Structure 1
């Protein structure tokens, strides 16, 4: 299973690898261990993957209106709702770091 880091991983540029006799196949996507209790958060984050708020510098965060709508549809009790929301915020932060990382 892939975690947030792998969702936004970009393969190396083939032109940069060519002088060294390497290909993108030499750089597989990262493998990330995922505990089963985190799978619901990853599934929800994946469903929200097109729901980014974007500013002049790129993505700034998820659209929480859409996130809350999805959470409401899940029919969770208060504790599960809050836990899943907190998990999404952690994943969102990691994703933003990856998206804004300078190569």
Structure 2
């Protein structure tokens, strides 16, 4: 979701061409599809502190889960999946050189 192609300068530095860096294809397991879909819906809804994003606004996440009619164990499983994607996104956002 947050993949970016290398810049021309980065490619030139390594002696490579853009054709060497095709956008990766990602297949989701069926049990990961709903958490990822909901994450995509709320991917602009971050809580931000002085140092940048600190986490998703869970009020918006809960609203989307309510819209899906999620309850009980399924809701807990979907929220766990969303938290995994959220943590990976935060790592990507805060990695040096990003």
In which range does the TM-score fall when normalised by the shorter chain? 0.7 to 0.9
Structure 1 unaligned regions, length at least 5:
1-6
**Residue in structure 2 matching 1:68, options 43, 48, 62:** 62
Confirm whether residue 34 of structure 1 aligns to residue 31 of structure 2: no
Structure 2 Cα separation of the partners of residues 29 and 100 of structure 1: 22
TM-score normalised according to structure 2 size: 0.84
Q: Which has the higher contact order (CA 8 A, sep 6+)?
A: 1
Structure 2 Cα separation of the partners of residues 19 and 71 of structure 1: 46
Structure 2 unaligned regions, length at least 5:
none
Shift >4 Å, 4+ stretches? none
